[in-house]
Amino acid sequence: MRAALELVAERGAQGFTLAEASRRAGVSVAAPYKHFADKEALLAELARTGYERQYERFSAAMAGERDPVEQLAAFAAAYVQFSADSRALFDITFATGLDKQLYPELGRAGDRVLELLREPAARLVRDPAGALDLIHAVGATAHGFAAFLAEGIFGDPAGALEPTKRRARDAARRLVTGGRSG
Amino acid sequence: MRAALELVAERGAQGFTLAEASRRAGVSVAAPYKHFADKEALLAELARTGYERQYERFSAAMAGERDPVEQLAAFAAAYVQFSADSRALFDITFATGLDKQLYPELGRAGDRVLELLREPAARLVRDPAGALDLIHAVGATAHGFAAFLAEGIFGDPAGALEPTKRRARDAARRLVTGGRSG
DNA sequence: GTCTATATGACGATAGAC
DNA sequence: GTCTATCGTCATATAGAC
């Protein structure tokens, strides 16, 4: 798993091959098949832990804030942070093309992450549909900043991390406070 | 090129293979090498046209608005629209991992797209750094909505397209009108 | 511009032994 | 739980003829 994660970090979730991961782990290419049904199953397991780490990190970041607006802003910043310092785990939860019907735990784990935003959103918007919209808007914006950062659009990803976190935080605040919420 | 694009649409930019594209085009696997140096060069060319189409579509959408806020909002909606109706061209501009140093035209073509936002942003924010921040925020948010839509987070992508466009438009407006702009 | 043929090398997955 | 060996398949890229 460690070797697989490293490989995903280097080559992306698609460029990942079981054979190379096996070589790096120092085992034969046959060994993984005693632990996983196939290549996809290993990727799915990796993605599951990716969501779990996200959940831990985001909830920790949000726990430091009391104001719901600041909780959403903290989420956005933590999202960007995670995408940068755990890029492999982040990518694998997105760019895999894993069938969430085939791996239902995956869909659930991903939903749990977005549900972190439910309480603060509900405190800000009475209407449930409006609250869901706010959740999606904050999540999408955080994701966009993370993707642009990784793509180098903000310049060198290492150097641009802190400014990008700040901007994601600001954008989240503006999404909440600007105009109506639905 | 047509066959290659279809293939990218089906299997993503990574799953794309030159051999399969050749088969679909009805030519041998050797033929493409008379037109492109290698597989990457063909992908880069595809990505370049992807940026060009984006530029055309986004500028057309923005031309329909006079108010700078609405121009930014129209951009966001058009971004989501393009990601949905031209998914292959959209994906290839992002998920390729193409070295923009090796293909400098690519970087320029991508920058040109974001520069569409420069004038409206400048009209809204005097400070140039603040204007750039606004460009990045609108672009990132549009991208996030597009990515979430494609990933199925909003439900069936076909059905969720129009609501997502509306939400992206709203979010862009809120980014501009909410709080300070830097 | 296109073909056939080929060199070379990976990969996913399985069989069977230890 | 791990190995060696292997099958079948596919890929990228080149050489040389038409």
pLDDT at A46: 94
Angular region, A57: left φ>0, alpha ψ -120 to 50, beta rest: alpha
Q: Is the predicted pLDDT of residue B120 greater than 60, yes or no?
A: yes
pLDDT tens readout for residues A113-135: 999 999 999 999 999 999 999 99
Q: What is the pLDDT of residue A179?
A: 57
For the segment A144-152, the average pLDDT, to the nearest whole number, is: 94
Residues written for chain A: 182
- Whether the per-residue pLDDT at A165 is higher than 80: the answer is yes
SS3 for chain A, per residue? CHHHHHHHHHHHHHHCCHHHHHHHHCCCCCHHHHCCCCHHHHHHHHHHHHHHHHHHHHHHHHHCCCCHHHHHHHHHHHHHHHHHHCHHHHHHCCCCCCCCCCCHHHHHHHHHHHHCCHHHHHHHCCCHHHHHHHHHHHHHHHHHHHHHHHHCCCCCHHHHHHHHHHHHHHHHHHHHHCCCCC
Check the CA dihedral A170-A176-A178-A182 and report its sign.
positive
> CB of residue B63 closer than 7 A to nucleic acid strand D?
no
Task: Identify the pLDDT of residue B171.
Answer: 96
pTM of the model: 0.94
pLDDT beyond 60 at A28: yes
For A95, name the nearest residue in chain B, comparing CA atoms only.
Answer: B95
In this structure, what are the phi and psi dihedrals at residue A180, rounded to the nearest 5 degrees?
-70, 170
To probe the interface with A, which of B145, B164, B165, B173 has the most A CB atoms within 10 Å?
B145
B178 touches chain A (CB under 8 A): yes
Which has the higher per-residue pLDDT, A94 or A24? A24
Domains of chain B: 51-177 (1.10.357.10)
> What is the model's pLDDT at position B90?
94
Contact status of A70 with chain B (Cβ, < 8 Å): no
The predicted-structure confidence for A60-106, as pLDDT tens digits, reads as follows 999 999 999 999 999 999 999 999 999 999 999 987 777 788 888 88
pLDDT at residue B182, rounded to an integer: 38
Helix boundaries (H) for chain B? 2-15, 18-25, 39-63, 68-85, 87-92, 104-115, 118-124, 128-151, 157-177
Please give, rounded to a whole number of angstroms, the shortest distance from the CA of B82 to a CA of chain A: 16
Q: Is A153 on the interface with B (CB under 8 A)?
A: yes
- A160 contact residues in B (CB cutoff 8 A): none
Mean pLDDT of chain A: 93
Q: Average the pLDDT over B123-139 and give the result.
A: 96
Q: Which whole number is the average pLDDT over B8-21? A: 90
Assign A180 a pLDDT band (cuts: 50, 70, 90).
Answer: low
Distance A35 CA to C15 C1' (A): 17
Average pLDDT of the residues in B59-81: 98
Nearest by CB: B177 against A145, A167, A178: A178
Angle ∠(A137,A143,A146) on CA atoms, nearest 5:
145
pLDDT for residue B107: 84
What pLDDT is recorded for position B18?
96
Mean pLDDT of the region B79-93: 94
B157 touches chain A (CB under 8 A): no
Q: Is the CB of residue A108 less than 8 Å away from at least one CB of chain B?
A: no
Q: In chain B, what residues touch A95 (CB-CB under 8 Å)?
A: 95
Please report the pLDDT score of residue B139 as a whole number: 97
pLDDT at B178 over 80: no
Identify the band that residue B181 occupies on the pLDDT scale cut at 50, 70 and 90: very low
Q: In chain A, which residues from 32 to 51 place their CB closer than 7 Å to nucleic acid strand C?
A: 33, 38-40
| Identity of the residue numbered A17 | T
Within 7 Å of a protein beta carbon, the nucleotides of strand D are: 1-6, 10-16
Q: What angle do CA A171, A51, B139 make, to 5 degrees?
A: 25
Contacts of A136 (CB under 8 A, 6+ apart): A114, B145, B148, B153, B154, B167
Window 4-63 of B, Cβ < 8 Å to A: 12, 14-15
Estimate in Å the CA A163 to C1' D8 gap, whole number. Answer: 52
